[in-house]
């Protein structure tokens, strides 16, 4: 396989994994009070848009290889806030303006959420992939 075709295949696989992580991390949140929150509602919607952008980026990998990484990067940016709220809620709520409805005492520093942690891991893999791609 040619290096360019291999790189496109890797990017499509990374986008597919990103789509799976984004979808998995928001699974079960639609229709709950998480969706209706003034802060979390728009973040959940942005993550849903990010999931769609992952699918578009995976298709663009083979149709328009120059714009596919930019689309995937936009998808990661849209998905990251949900990952951060699900894994480190106290830190995120301390950065957000206003007062949280659940208070800061009941919010843990770290929560084990496999989908969100996998999404963060795939962001690191994607960043490494883009860096190596630009070096060659």
Q: Per residue of the chain (136 residues), give pLDDT as tens.
A: 687 788 888 889 999 999 999 999 888 887 777 777 777 788 889 999 999 999 999 999 989 888 988 999 999 999 998 999 889 888 887 777 665 555 556 677 888 889 999 999 988 988 888 887 766 6
Q: What's the pLDDT at 43? A: 87
What are the phi and psi torsion angles at 85 (to 5°)?
Answer: -65, -35
- Full-model pTM: 0.82
């Amino acid at each position: 396989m040619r290096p360019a075709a291999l790189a496109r295949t890797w990017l499509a696989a990374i986008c597919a994994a990103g789509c799976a992580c984004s979808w998995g991390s928001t699974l079960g949140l639609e229709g709950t009070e998480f969706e209706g929150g003034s802060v979390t509602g728009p973040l959940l919607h942005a993550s849903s848009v990010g999931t769609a952008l992952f699918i578009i980026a995976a298709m663009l990998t083979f149709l328009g290889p120059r714009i596919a990484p930019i689309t995937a990067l936009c998808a990661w940016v849209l998905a990251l806030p949900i990952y951060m709220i699900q894994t480190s809620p106290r830190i995120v709520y301390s950065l957000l303006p206003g007062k949280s409805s659940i208070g800061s005492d009941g919010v843990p520093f770290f929560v084990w959420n496999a989908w969100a942690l996998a999404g963060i891991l795939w962001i690191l893999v994607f960043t490494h992939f883009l860096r190596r791609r630009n070096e060659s």
